Structure 1
């Protein structure tokens, strides 16, 4: 789901917004049946104007364009049926429930309701004809649907749906049918008025993609012949049209942010023969060509009077940390401070040990600040940081907490940016905003970033890539393996363990979730234990 773009009314005659613009900017409370309470609930879906409803996109679709005979239903299927109520009764099978038995002459189906009202029970009287849609399950009385959507049929035959039925993301207090009806009202407004296409000209839209209005109408009402697999995968031209606009807006926003940042003043860190030079000369190894190239990029940025915002990307073991340390030496040598923020205490301590080994022989103290830092050590470090006595600081998110003051923070280094929120990185940068100047930023990541993704997701950053490893380092190979080849991955793990090596299997979840379709650690661990007997 994406919120509608921010719209500004275009004046019509006599300076008033045109009718189309008035519809586009009307509050959602102008729709029939929307009061203050419902508007408050809709706001949780980022819906505040009528036009916002158009951008509440379906999460999936159901085919209700044809009826299935009850006798042909299969467990696990989602289907639409029509039939006549034979019996409605309240049953007590562990909990109070309403059971309605429906027949169409080919078979019998039970509708089961755990939450129901007296009026609902009265409306499901024997002899009433219903059209129902839901998931078919096998229950104690045979096939059943639990809390299906249904309509009572009266008099003339009710036509079937002509398009696929959208299923929308919900929030508490806004049921599916209610939200669908509100979006229908918004679509009718769209038919009567224009929706501004925000791209400057048709030539800006890639060939084969529809207009914004055409894309929205299609996605809310795909025809019955639409390919569900294509829609589910997000590959339909209508979805690609909205994705293109969203990516373009994101890209432009990042470009504007970069332009705005470049208009600020930064602490200039000129080249000098002092600490930065001695740091490089004291290293027990020589930088690779790729490291030297990346460091040259960083040094050029630090010399300028505008803030550096650079992404340093390279595989694990390529030597990003020493490049960052050389940049920190440049800041410390200029009498300023550098702070490196790591996502975990373990990684922060690893960086601190490396920096201390490099800087201590040069007479520079490196402070460590994390949640696990002892209180006495922390107080001493805070005083030294505030006075400027300590010029190189390593830490976790504790670095941007209240009570931590820097004397002259000129360089912020962030390891694995994706582990931090943007606001966390900005909070640390704000600690260096003094005397009308902002700190330089160097972001490190080992995550492989394709060029096309870098151009969109990181458009606000300049990028340096360390694409070679120091001598003696084993290259890291990143491979994407599809789910059907899981057994091959398990076999490789078994082979590695037999050879005395270790393997890590990282899952995005601990327990299974109804919200996310992703591997859970507990289930994966159980499956691996079964597939790898004797391996701990």
Structure 2
């Protein structure tokens, strides 16, 4: 096997064919490395066998071991049900299998001993299970059984088999220990291979709480390596930046004043201050590398426009890259309108453009006629040739990894001149954390909101009382207002029974509000499907959009008056604040409803109270770090759009300093390990930087 495991395609794993490759890609899994980093979302304890007579609670999950006493098929055709009667010394359990396959009939024989795991229900006082999971009664029960996030086309049994096969392929050649043991004394004692094995199959003695919070020693060991690789990449970027030549771009006060006067509003003091910081950087012959943090609605687009104006006014080009096509279109619409009076031409490049439309835009870019180019990552494809690109603006930069930032620099370099880079994020990060995570960048903060923003009223409601929301939703949707309904799961989970999923939420809303148009969007959908759903919602063709946190950074929908967040206690404060920012985009009174379980912890209640009391993203981010408790089990991993595969910027702050120290030592004393670590975690970025 290739020693760079992060470049080894997932179809190298036994049993993974073309269909599975396509399905896994929807989960962001394309390599063996991605597959073993697809950590469980929960675990099943199958070590405890429950006697059938002791089953008493509706909805509980249990393991039953018994002997098949008889079978029967009820009904015909697609509506037929295969019933299995499983008996132990205390009673009999009926198991109903819907949509069964012929081979299942052949596998089930009378007097056969089997084990099943599933949800218990009762009919006429008798216990039953529907479509449980079967497993061999003699299987080793000394470890928890993992539960994974799935997508259409992959069943749980298949995912477990794929990951186990991948784990079996690991060895000292393809998963070498790249951090010297003397640098990680606290997290040593286990090889990286053993850590992966323990995460996917933890011993029954392990703490489920620690595993769920990614705080086990095995998780920390892998997270520490990823953070170390990240710090090494920052060292690399910083050294590259110091070696590179930039073009000093002069300020143009008259043009800037003309532009500001043409705006229908007055920029905030924070916008003007941050713009001055950017213009100062642009005037240096060292490439700018600045991060602008701005809370939801702080006006980052205007800052990007003023930076671009300085560059275009000097006869050069600026490119603005957004993570999604709908956001790119939104930027293009706003910025084109801003520059209309100055006769500055823009070009837009999106993956969905047809050949003729794309060709027209490419000509505008190559000729230099278009001063500002806006799009997704499509603006840096091989077919795009810039006349004189000198500024790259990356919106929502946390959605683009270090490897992509390296690619951008490589693509845009020309005649020995490296373009200036301005990154922007709406995720407030405490300054001390930002300095560690983005050590290669200068940081500016937009800490002032434009006047006129409608305050969002935030309230907490028990999940059991969510029916109270329905009349208000119906009344307002009849007035052409709209609602976001956010869930932390895509599909129903066996291990997170209290968590609402998008499928069931949509069914619940459609049943109770049959006259409203309801759509769904989540991270496991194809990009085109997500875009289509968001566009329909933006156009007002959908009343309620049921979604996962994939809409955390989304489009402006001024008519959205309410966002309902189910299982709010499972999110971090910073993420809840981002989600809340989807409403209050217009002048209508807006609300955020935090639906919480009755079993919410005291720390969870404290977090909800912070959100109810404050709309300051930076204050909320600081409090998030102070009081975050259990929860955030799903976090942003489900969206598939975070730059880290195992680490979490907020959760793992206690490891950042150690990672920085280790990275510095490796950079100075173990250069061969530095190269291999970067290849393991950032295979594309390493290649790009060497190109």
Q: TM-score, normalised by structure 2?
A: 0.54
Q: How does 1:120-519 map to 2 (within 5 A)?
A: 120-121=106-107, 124-126=109-111, 128-138=112-122, 143-151=128-136, 161-167=141-147, 172=154, 175=158, 178=161, 182=165, 197-201=177-181, 204=184, 211-212=190-191, 215-216=195-196, 218-266=198-246, 268-271=247-250, 276-282=252-258, 283-284=260-261, 290-315=270-295, 318-341=298-321, 343-357=327-341, 360=342, 365-367=344-346, 369=348, 386-388=366-368, 392-393=371-372, 395-397=374-376, 405-417=385-397, 432-451=412-431, 454-455=434-435, 458=438, 461-469=441-449, 473-474=451-452, 484=462, 505-507=483-485, 513=491
Aligned to 2:60: 77
**Cα deviation 1:443-483 (Å, max 9, x = unaligned):** 3344433446635664554321122356xx25787898777
Aligned counterparts of 1:377 and 1:197: Cα–Cα separation in 2 = 50
**Cα deviation 1:132-173 (Å, max 9, x = unaligned):** 333334579851352532336xxxxx6972333334567859
Aligned to 2:525: none
> SS at 2:443's partner residue?
strand
**Aligned length, in residue pairs:** 480
Aligned counterparts of 2:31 and 2:390: Cα–Cα separation in 1 = 42
**Distance verdict in 2 for CA 1:256–1:524, change over 3 Å:** farther
Aligned counterparts of 1:134 and 1:486: Cα–Cα separation in 2 = 24
**Cα deviation 1:386-409 (Å, max 9, x = unaligned):** 44455x325444755787653212
Q: Does 1:107 align with 2:86?
A: no
Contact 2:289/2:441 (<8 A) preserved: yes
**Distance verdict in 2 for CA 1:165–1:529, change over 3 Å:** closer
**Distance verdict in 2 for CA 1:407–1:169, change over 3 Å:** closer
Contact 1:279/1:326 (<8 A) preserved: no
Which one of the candidate residues 48, 62, 65 is aligned to 1:66? 48
**Distance verdict in 2 for CA 1:524–1:240, change over 3 Å:** farther
Aligned to 2:673: none
Contact 2:167/2:197 (<8 A) preserved: no
User: How big is the alpha-carbon RMSD for the aligned residues of Structure 1 and Structure 2?
Assistant: 5.5
Aligned to 1:38: 15
Larger radius of gyration: 1
Which has the larger displacement, 455-464 or 68-77?
455-464
Offset, 1:295: 3.0
> SS at 1:234's partner residue?
coil
Contact 2:120/2:127 (<8 A) preserved: no
Q: TM-score, normalised by structure 1?
A: 0.67
**Cα deviation 1:228-287 (Å, max 9, x = unaligned):** 344334344433443333333234334434533554443x13436xxx121244444987
Aligned to 2:103: 117
Contact 1:234/1:240 (<8 A) preserved: yes
Aligned to 2:609: none
Aligned counterparts of 1:378 and 1:511: Cα–Cα separation in 2 = 37
Higher RCO (CA < 8 A, seq sep 6+): 2
Offset, 1:293: 4.0
Offset, 1:411: 1.6
Aligned counterparts of 1:409 and 1:194: Cα–Cα separation in 2 = 40
Contact 1:511/1:522 (<8 A) preserved: no
Contact 1:86/1:103 (<8 A) preserved: yes
Aligned counterparts of 1:453 and 1:338: Cα–Cα separation in 2 = 29
Aligned counterparts of 1:258 and 1:478: Cα–Cα separation in 2 = 40
> SS at 1:437's partner residue?
coil
Aligned counterparts of 2:307 and 2:12: Cα–Cα separation in 1 = 58
Offset, 1:63: 1.4
Q: Which runs of 5+ in 1 are unaligned?
A: 9-26, 153-157
> SS at 1:256's partner residue?
helix
Aligned counterparts of 2:420 and 2:464: Cα–Cα separation in 1 = 44
Contact 2:321/2:374 (<8 A) preserved: yes
Aligned to 1:18: none
**Distance verdict in 2 for CA 1:479–1:212, change over 3 Å:** farther
Aligned counterparts of 1:110 and 1:461: Cα–Cα separation in 2 = 62
Offset, 1:78: 2.6
**Cα deviation 1:177-213 (Å, max 9, x = unaligned):** 74586478679x89xx9985443455546x6897555
Aligned counterparts of 1:508 and 1:217: Cα–Cα separation in 2 = 33
**Cα deviation 1:60-82 (Å, max 9, x = unaligned):** 22112221111222443332223
**Cα deviation 1:344-400 (Å, max 9, x = unaligned):** 43432222222334xx2xxx533354679999999988766544455x325444755
Contact 2:66/2:115 (<8 A) preserved: yes
Aligned counterparts of 2:304 and 2:384: Cα–Cα separation in 1 = 22
Aligned counterparts of 1:184 and 1:418: Cα–Cα separation in 2 = 30
